[in-house]
Copies of this chain bind each other. A is one copy, B any other.
Amino acid sequence: MPPIVSEEYKEKKKEQILKSALSCFADKGFQSSTIDDIVSHSGISKGAIYNYFKSKDEIYLEVLNRATAKNIENIRDNFSKLRSTLSKINFIFDGYLNTNPFEHERFRYIVVFYEFTLHCTRNEKLLELLTRRRDTFINLLVDVLKEGQEAKEINNEVDPEIFAHQFWTIIDGVSLQAVYNDFPYYDVLREMKEAYIEKLKL
């Protein structure tokens, strides 16, 4: 409220807006969510929101950026605590096996995330951003797999790049299928995980 305000204050406000925005986007989709929805949900005035973000698009972008950042950080943290390659692969699969994609909140988030992905498709800049983000996820795994090969923990024949991509392909596949609420998410994911790990072994 005072004319000069700490960075911390601003950051908190931003966070608050973004949280509300995600909630709205999750509920109604990006296009269908209005700034007024975010105003209602956050209790922050329209003018204030525009003080922190240039446009609705910028909010969208930032919402997804932060969600991703958190996810990466989380994976990195846990990888660093784990020793063997297989335990890391196990861990990252289990992250998805221990999550309920049908649970309302989670489900909404998945939908928004893929909507955003598709949205980026139509804007070169956004697509590049998205691709860079994806590279981070891919490299996380490529590094692990390479280390595993160097350490002779896993099969030398597997192509780390291909297998890294394959992993996210599986995750995207099962996540997307979760839009059908009778999808046997756990069974399918477990089956695919086993096949995946089988290939790595030896």
The chain A residues found within 8 Å of chain B, CB to CB, are: 3, 27-29, 31-32, 47, 111, 114-115, 117-122, 127, 130-131, 134, 159, 161-162, 165-166, 168-174, 176-177, 179-184, 187-188, 191-192, 195, 199
A134–B173 Cα distance when bound, in Å, is 14
**In the complex this chain forms, how many copies of it are found?**
4
Does the CB pair A176–B182 fall under 8 Å? no
The chain B residue sitting closest to A174, CB to CB, is B169
Return A194 CB to nearest CB of chain B, in Å: 10
The chain B residue sitting closest to A107, CB to CB, is B121
A118–B168 Cα distance when bound, in Å, is 19
Does the CB pair A169–B188 fall under 8 Å? yes
A122 contacts which chain B residues (CB < 8 A)?
Answer: 27-29, 32, 111
Partner of A118, one of B114, B162, B177, B184: B114
Does the CB pair A159–B134 fall under 8 Å? no
A173 contacts which chain B residues (CB < 8 A)?
Answer: 168-174, 176
A188 contacts which chain B residues (CB < 8 A)?
Answer: 162, 165-166, 169
A169 contacts which chain B residues (CB < 8 A)?
Answer: 170, 173-174, 176-177, 188, 192
Given the interface contacts A29-B119, A162-B188, does A177 sit within 8 Å of B183 by beta carbon? no
Does the CB pair A179–B117 fall under 8 Å? yes
Sample 9 A-B pairs with CB under 8 A, ordered by A number.
A29-B119, A111-B118, A111-B122, A114-B176, A131-B180, A159-B187, A165-B177, A165-B188, A169-B176
